[in-house]
Structure 1
């Protein structure tokens, strides 16, 4: 179980619901949160289209 602290104080999320809870928070989140999520998610084996074709290491 995840237990909220600071701005999330008083909230608990069972492990089996954690993924869905996080998805809902991102989907309904602020633009800044959504942007940060996208940057995190696509930080691995993805590049922006405008950078495609440039040298990169795998």
Structure 2
């Protein structure tokens, strides 16, 4: 049985608005989450499996 409604392209159909790059460049949007992530990195450091990707 064939699915006739499926797309044959790998493109997901999501379009990016390039004007948002300049609008949010250099701005912190989720300050609480950023602070928590920096605190966790300071306490625990970068995980070993992530170091090879840096």
After TM superposition, the score normalised by the length of structure 2 is 0.29
More strand by share: 1
Larger RCO, structures 1/2 (Cα 8 Å, 6+ apart): 1
Bigger helix fraction: 1
User: Which TM-score applies when normalising by structure 1?
Assistant: 0.28
